[in-house]
């Protein structure tokens, strides 16, 4: 039987970083727990507090792994409900460049990239030079351990890999210069946004401030794309109550509601128990009641209520186009997104992708020119998102090529022009207050961290 250790580890989400995890240690033998966490890649932020901030956004997964290891050593571990939710959450990388990999294989690639990042950050891998090969960052460096081998690195963040090895720094630099002479620069490449965010998450913060009065959430005015998701079921009920031209029926299992227009050419599906990041709504239009889909639009469960409400009202009040039109052209794209640049959203073009990003970088609209050329396949040509980044959005709406331009323009106007409210959320208050309020968050004692398979 494992001997009990007088150390208590409380695992919680980081107060400001969207995916990082913090560990607050108490007890007379906290050094034992601290050493175990440091060996697993956690960083000491201040006395009794460690932070896990990775470049692959897999912190909740590795926090659960750390909890299991600590418990096996006889250390008491608590996991707060909000961290447990993040651990249980299922998510996938959007537009991952190696779609043939399984989720576990993707995690292996990310873990190797994390090791390279940690070796550079901790001075174990010295970068001699870097360049941009037209697609991503490449670099040449030498390990100060592992026999001192030199390596050629390809990629950034969670996609960085060792793409070649050399016997010496001289041979590595010679080969690197032959390939990247024009763009070669000395030393390591500038930090990516992800790397800077991880550094910020590991910065010292105060958890010793006095305990405040219990916080009462207060509404704050925010851009509509950051508003609360609200009650989607209540929103659907209110919509159907005022739009009797839609007939409602619910599946026998009671987990899905269908709303079908009296013409039977527009159908709305609502999956009631869908996770926040998965499709909870599907809107499909048909030329006739028995024809193939003309266009389809999907909405995830965390989409703000006002965005969803405007979408439903547009469908009911403005009608919908079920005729197959011409392929999407530049004029149609401009029309669909006109409200965005007028509101200061940044416009960029990257190969097949045309993007508009909010001034704060926390929302965007993306058009996939390649998918638009294959209209008959109903691929996701338009993606509207909000959250930390487009690869892991808080919510998203995707739409196929023939989705009506007026509907898309209406959504763009909603994002660019409207505001709404949300409850004040942890991570947006002053750091001292955040840290002090940690003890006010209910926690569950973990004998074994929960997980959910895909």
- Residue 319's pLDDT is 63
| 20 touches 53 (CB < 8 A) | yes
Q: Is 412's pLDDT higher than 60? A: yes
- Residue 277's pLDDT is 87
Distance CA 7, CA 23 (A): 12
Q: Is 226's pLDDT higher than 60? A: yes
Mean pLDDT throughout 35-56? 91
- Residue 253's pLDDT is 61
**Domain extent listing, the chain:** 8-91+432-445, 103-201, 223-422
Mean pLDDT of the chain: 84
CATH architecture designation of domain 8-91+432-445: 2-Layer Sandwich (3.30)
Q: Is 255's pLDDT higher than 90? A: no
Q: What percent of the chain has pLDDT over 90?
A: 52
- Residue 414's pLDDT is 95
Question: Which stretch of 21-30, 121-130, 416-425 has the lowest confidence by average pLDDT?
Answer: 416-425
Helix axes 305-318, 405-417, angle to 10 degrees: 150
pLDDT tens digits for range 157-198: 999 999 999 989 999 999 999 999 888 998 888 888 888 888
Q: How many beta carbons lie within 10 A of that of residue 84, not counting itself?
A: 21
- Residue 444's pLDDT is 32
pLDDT tens digits for range 112-146: 999 999 889 888 899 999 999 888 999 999 998 76
In which band, very low, low, confident or very high, does the pLDDT at 17 lie, cut at 50, 70 and 90? confident
Q: What predicted TM-score, i.e. pTM, was given to this entire model?
A: 0.50
Burial class (CB in 10 A: 0-12, 13-18, 19+), 218: exposed
Mean pLDDT throughout 366-381? 85
- Residue 323's pLDDT is 64
Torsion sign over Cα 80, 274, 408, 316: negative
Paired with 10 in beta bridges are 24, 78
- Give the 3-state secondary structure of 311-360: HHHHHHHHCCCCCCCCCCCHHHHHHHHCHHHHCCCEEEEECCEEEEECCC
């Amino acid at each position: 039987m494992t001997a009990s250790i007088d150390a208590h580890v409380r695992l919680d989400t980081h107060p400001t970083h969207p995916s990082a995890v913090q560990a607050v240690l108490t007890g007379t033998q906290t050094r034992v727990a601290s050493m175990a966490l440091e060996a697993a890649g956690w960083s000491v932020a201040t006395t009794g507090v460690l932070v896990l901030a990775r470049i692959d956004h897999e912190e909740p997964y590795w926090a659960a792994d750390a909890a299991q290891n600590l418990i096996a050593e006889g250390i008491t571990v608590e996991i707060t409900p909000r961290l447990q939710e993040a651990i249980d959450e299922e998510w996938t990388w959007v537009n991952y460049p190696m779609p043939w990999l399984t989720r576990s294989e993707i995690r292996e690639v990310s873990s190797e990239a994390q090791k390279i990042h940690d070796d550079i950050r901790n001075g174990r891998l010295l970068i001699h030079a870097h360049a941009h090969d037209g697609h991503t960052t490449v670099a040449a460096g030498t390990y100060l351990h592992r026999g001192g081998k030199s390596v050629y690195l390809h990629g950034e963040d969670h996609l960085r890999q060792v793409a070649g090895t050399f016997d010496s720094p001289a041979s590595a630099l010679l080969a690197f210069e032959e390939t990247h002479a024009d763009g070669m620069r000395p030393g390591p490449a500038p930090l990516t946004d992800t790397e800077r965010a991880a550094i910020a998450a590991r910065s010292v913060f105060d958890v010793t401030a006095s305990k405040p009065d219990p916080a009462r959430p207060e509404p704050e005015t925010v851009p509509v794309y950051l508003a609360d998701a609200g009650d989607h079921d209540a929103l659907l009920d209110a919509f159907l109550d005022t739009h009797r031209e839609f007939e409602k029926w619910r599946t026998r299992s009671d987990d899905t509601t269908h709303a079908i227009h009296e013409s039977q050419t527009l159908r709305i599906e609502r999956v009631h128990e869908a996770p926040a990041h998965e499709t909870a709504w599907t809107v499909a239009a048909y030329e006739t009641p028995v024809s193939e889909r003309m266009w389809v639009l999907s909405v995830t469960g965390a989409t703000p209520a006002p965005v969803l409400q405007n979408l439903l009202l547009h469908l009911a009040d403005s009608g919908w186009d079920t005729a197959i039109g011409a392929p999407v052209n530049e004029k149609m794209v401009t029309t669909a997104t006109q409200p965005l640049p007028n509101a200061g959203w940044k416009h960029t073009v990257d190969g097949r992708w045309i993007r508009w990003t909010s001034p704060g970088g926390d929302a965007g609209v993306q058009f996939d020119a390649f998918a638009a050329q294959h209209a008959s396949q109903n691929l996701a040509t338009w993606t509207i998102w909000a959250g930390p980044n487009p690869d892991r959005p808080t919510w998203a709406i995707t739409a196929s090529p023939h989705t009506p331009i007026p509907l898309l323009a209406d959504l763009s106007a909603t994002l660019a022009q409207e505001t709404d409210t949300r409850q004040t959320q942890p991570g947006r208050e002053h750091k001292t207050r955040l840290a002090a309020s940690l003890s006010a968050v209910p926690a569950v004692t973990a004998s074994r961290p929960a997980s959910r398979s895909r």
